[in-house]
Structure 1
């Protein structure tokens, strides 16, 4: 994700284009009545970089990339076509391929869902003065909410990802199709092959595994 953010915000020219693309996208959504209008809504922003010591900055960075996905992709396409250096164009092309990957979009949404729950706890634990009872209560309630996400959140997450992919013309895989991982296949050479479906990969190996790690 940081790689994509750096590719887009590497110069003031691309930063200005990012904001111009956001304005154009908001105007289009207003015309087709797909967003609400009003004071404080639809503000123009910039991609946020996550910090090394502030976990809340990671949540902010993920939300900003999801919110500005379309504008970000448009800028990267222009960088790929008009970038001054070979390195700049290469970074842009790699970023576009990453952005257009269903797996990248899926992971982005999974992490957003988890960090939306843990963000309040992260903020509380980074305060200079600590209320240990409040911190213990936050740990307990966050754990309960994450467990609820694990047991009840799969279908709504999948629907959110599907809607996002359709809106941005990202290819959605058939969840009943077999999943093939080149590295895992090489590691299993000579061993009994175990076929897993796309749904198993995304639900068990990514969604459930990420939540269990947080728990």
Structure 2
């Protein structure tokens, strides 16, 4: 029996016929006909299922609109109005009962369906996000360009460049935290260099050199900072901000390694002089890598073939860069060459490949497939 069945101490009596005969509703009928709904205010019964779900106008409105109270006919065998209302398995009443059963199923409730779909979508999004994180981590280690998930929803924000950069930022913070734990309270040296990137922004890289708790000499790339200019005071402030942000005291600095430019190596107003004022033990050493680069540049100028290559390359860059017409001609020729190589199966094709970008930020750059030719 459904929870909507009222049980009264005594149901009202109804007189039938000219004889003194009284009948009343019986609570036991709920067991045989669980779809009944008794109205105590009207002393009538209705079909709860048909009242809710009968779409067409009922042929016999007794159990849906008017109500039924002819109690003496309920036990009239096959002529019982309640049995007649039930009908066969395909009757309108049977269909309404099926609808009520479906409605009463907790698993079919709209909130449960939405929650189930929501949980399923949450699991899928978590899996996609984990895949995105692992992909970004692997691509970062390999220094490869990022690619978004092809099967992710188009409105998924975790595949956007903003979220990818945020994930990279989290990785960077974790790496810096680990490096900071390795340094502890030990003394350290800094290696600094700056250069313009392809977007013409001045970037300064900071490397920390120290001896860890196991007595092993370590060199860790710590941070890269965008600086407005390369004056000694600006670089000094940027480096000091990075060190203080990670609780690295400048007084623990025991060495500085820069190139030989005046803004870095000047004994009076250079970067090394500014740090020496704060910590007299932070001795400056001309960076060995820069000295090696200078030696290689000097040696290469003595090699005729190398000198000719770079001289012609500089001439080509200057020639193409000074004329938009020549730039367009080179672009046209390169497009024809790529088409020829694709036709002859010398070059693979797929999404994002065989793209050409010429002359970007004062640099001649040919982006072809996944390779860069300068």
TM-score by length of 2: 0.16
Bigger Rg over Cα: 2
Larger strand proportion, structure 1 or 2? 2
Superposition TM-score, scaled by structure 1 size: 0.23
Structure with bigger helix share is: 1
Structure with greater contact order relative to length (CA < 8 Å, sep ≥ 6): 1
